[in-house]
Amino acid sequence: MTAAPPIQLLPEADGLGRAARYLGQGGLVAFPTETVYGLGADARNDRAVARIYEAKGRPSFNPLIVHLADQPAAEALCHFSPAARRLAAAFWPGALTLVLPLVAQAGISPLVTAGLDTLAVRVPDHEVARALLRSFGGPIAAPSANPSGRISPTTAQHVVDGLGGRIDAVVDGGACPVGVESTIVDCSGAAPVLLRAGGIPVEAIEACLGQTLLLPDEATPDRPTAPGQLASHYAPLGRVRLNAEAARPGEVMLGFGNVDCTLNLSPSGDLLEAAAQLFGHLHRLDAMKAKQIAVSPIPDHGLGRAINDRLRRAAAPRD
Ligand code: TXA
Ligand code: MG
């Protein structure tokens, strides 16, 4: 973890170039958007994305929004429905996030989607965010740049107060003009669903689509709804046994630390590495058609809490 206070960068060519270099090296860079400051990392880098969860102290893996420079960049990652295209044309760049089916092999870290097959994307309407995205030239995963459970930051000073010592740099672009997070619309199913009210009024979205948005509880129940309430349908196919010291006959072992196992989250017992590997390994267990999965105990501190939260969901009884 970065112990020193974040380097404060100015939103000029030099500062943005440095910010882009930090991102390219797996660093964490907070930056302004029109809604709130985001805590950015390279969305393709498992370890960098794991660091986001660590810095925020998030006790669970909520999927993150990927920020892009323009719509074509988003279309390379997601499948756009006609409704999604209409919303993007009307509101991008802007405070609207679309949840869409993820393109296979898009190269996005599974930690960004928390293992889901949908991706949240947005093209921010802020000169500094856009310049950083252009300079970096890739997808930036960014939740709001506050410690988990705290208020979203709308100035660089808020970011420093909340996350100082845990991130590499912050680009200071002044106060965020909108000040509330983006509106999130899930366009991955048959009818668009409002997942979060935010910077773009719901009425404007409904007028654009010529239809009413469903609320999560009106949508199909097997889809992820509100944050933190992700359905268990993306749990691995096999049955999961937690806190296992060793595999029993017929079990595939998902290890942590120096243990005999088929797949290891981190042979050295590094929670950051384990978080970065978690969803990839769960997908691998599915690909192996593992029917019974034993999982090593994971220390319940730092990122271990988020890993255990996810594993408990994976082990929970299913309908
Ligand atoms: O305005 C914003 O949206 C800010 C700025 C930085 O862009 N970002 C932001 O991110 O508010 P965050 O992580 O604080 O909130 C993202 C929300 C989470 O609550 C998450 O549950 C939801 O988006 N989300 C992300 N991907 C999703 C997906 N595939 N399906 C359903 N919900 C998703
Ligand atoms: Mg947030």
Residue range 15-39, pLDDT digits in tens: 999 999 999 999 999 999 999 999 9
pLDDT of 230 over the 60 cut: no
Listed in sequence order, the residues at least 6 apart from 74 whose beta carbon sits closer than 8 Å to its beta carbon are 68, 80, 88, 98, 121, 123
pLDDT > 90: what percent of the chain?
76
Q: What is the pLDDT of residue 313?
A: 83
Residue 81 has pLDDT above 90, yes or no: yes
pLDDT classification of 310: cutoffs 50, 70, 90: confident
Q: Is 100 in the pocket of ligand 1 (CB under 6 A)?
A: no
35 Cα to the center of ligand 2, angstroms: 11
Q: What pTM was estimated for this model as a whole? A: 0.88
Name the closest-CA residue to atom 3, ligand 1.
182
Q: Does any ligand 1 atom lie closer than 6 A to the CB of residue 195?
A: yes
Q: What is the structure's pLDDT at 231?
A: 42
Residues that place a CB less than 5 A from ion ligand 2: 144
**Among 60-69, 74-83, 100-109, 299-308, which stretch is predicted with the lowest mean pLDDT?**
299-308
Q: Which two tokens stand for residue 177?
A: 């003009």
Q: Which tokens go with 10?
A: 């100015």
Per-residue pLDDT, 283:
80
| Cross-strand bridge partners of residue 119 | 100
User: CA 8, 14, 15 angle in degrees (round to 5)?
Assistant: 20
Nearest-angstrom CA–CA distance, 89 and 158: 32
Q: How many CB atoms lie within 10 A of CB 222?
A: 9
- Pocket flag, ligand 1, residue 63 (CB < 6 Å): yes
Encoded tokens for 62: 């909520």
Q: In the structure, what pLDDT confidence band is assigned to residue 105 with cuts at 50, 70 and 90? A: very high
Q: Between the CA atoms of 151, 154, 155 and 160, what dihedral angle is there, to the nearest 10 degrees?
A: 30
Q: What is the pLDDT averaged over residues 39-57?
A: 97
- pLDDT of 235 over the 90 cut: no
Domain-wise residue ranges, the chain: 7-218, 239-315
Q: Which residues pair with 315 in a beta bridge?
A: none
Q: Could you tell me if the CB of 183 is within 6 A of ligand 1?
A: no
- Which residue owns the Cα nearest ligand 1 atom 19? 227
Mean pLDDT of the chain: 92
Residue 4: pLDDT band with limits 50, 70, 90: confident
182 lines ligand 1 (CB under 6 A): yes
Residue 225 is predicted with a pLDDT of 46
The predicted model gives 143-160 an average pLDDT of 92
Ligand 1: does its nearest atom lie under 6 Å from the Cβ of 40?
no
**One-character DSSP codes across 159-183:** HHHHHTTTSSEEE---S-SS-SPPE
Ligand 1 closest atom vs CA 230? 31
Tokens at 3, concatenated: 């112990």
Task: Calculate the CA dihedral of residues 226, 232, 233, 234 and round it to 10 degrees.
Answer: 90
Question: What are 313's two structure tokens?
Answer: 């969901």
Mean pLDDT comparison of 38-52, 53-67, 140-154, 299-313, highest-scoring range? 38-52
3-class SS of residue 215: coil
- CATH number for the domain whose boundaries are 7-218: 3.90.870.10
Q: Pick the residue with more confidence: 244 or 287?
A: 244
CA of 231 to the centre of ligand 1 (A): 16
pLDDT, residue 227, reads 44
Greater pLDDT, 228 or 248: 248
Alpha helices, DSSP H, located in 79-126: 82-91
120 CA to centre of ligand 1 in angstroms: 7
Tell me what pLDDT residue 166 has.
96
Mean pLDDT on 130-150: 96
3-class DSSP assignment, residue 239 = strand
pLDDT at 279: 83
Q: Ligand 1 mean position to 90 CA, how many Å?
A: 20
Dmax over Cα atoms in the chain, in whole Å?
A: 60
What is the distance between the alpha carbons of residues 191 and 232, in angstroms, rounded to a whole number? Answer: 21
Please classify residue 146 by burial: count the beta carbons closer than 10 Å to its beta carbon, then call 0-12 exposed, 13-18 middle and 19+ buried: buried
Q: Which atom of ligand 1 lies nearest, measured to the CA of 119? A: 29
Q: Which atom of ligand 1 is nearest to the CA of 116?
A: 29
Reference 303, options 129, 117, 97, 53; nearest CA is 53
Among the atoms of ligand 1, which is closest to the Cα of residue 198?
Answer: 1
Q: Tell me the C-alpha distance between 214 and 12, whole Å.
A: 42
pLDDT tier, 234 (very low <50, low <70, confident <90, very high otherwise): low
Interaxial angle between packed helices 82-91 and 202-209, expressed in degrees from 0 to 180 and rounded to the nearest 10: 130
Whether 107 lines ligand 1, by a CB cut-off of 6 Å, is no
Cis preceding-peptide flag for 93 (omega within 30 of 0): yes
Model confidence at 318, pLDDT cuts 50, 70, 90, reads low
Q: Return the sign of the alpha-carbon dihedral for residues 77, 125, 223, 219.
A: negative
Ligand 1 atom closest to the Cα of residue 181 is 1
Q: Which of 1-5, 143-147, 282-286 has the highest mean pLDDT?
A: 143-147
Per-residue pLDDT, 233: 42
Reported confidence tier of residue 87, pLDDT bands at 50, 70, 90 = very high
CA of 185 to the centre of ligand 1 (A): 10
User: Is any ligand 1 atom within 6 A of the Cβ of residue 99?
Assistant: yes
**What are the DSSP calls for 30-52, one per residue?**
EEE-SSSEEEEEETT-HHHHHHH
Cβ count within 10 A of residue 295: 26
Q: What is the CA(182)–ligand 1 centre distance, in A? A: 8
Strands 193-196, 183-186: pairing kind: antiparallel
**Average pLDDT score over residue span 174-203:** 93
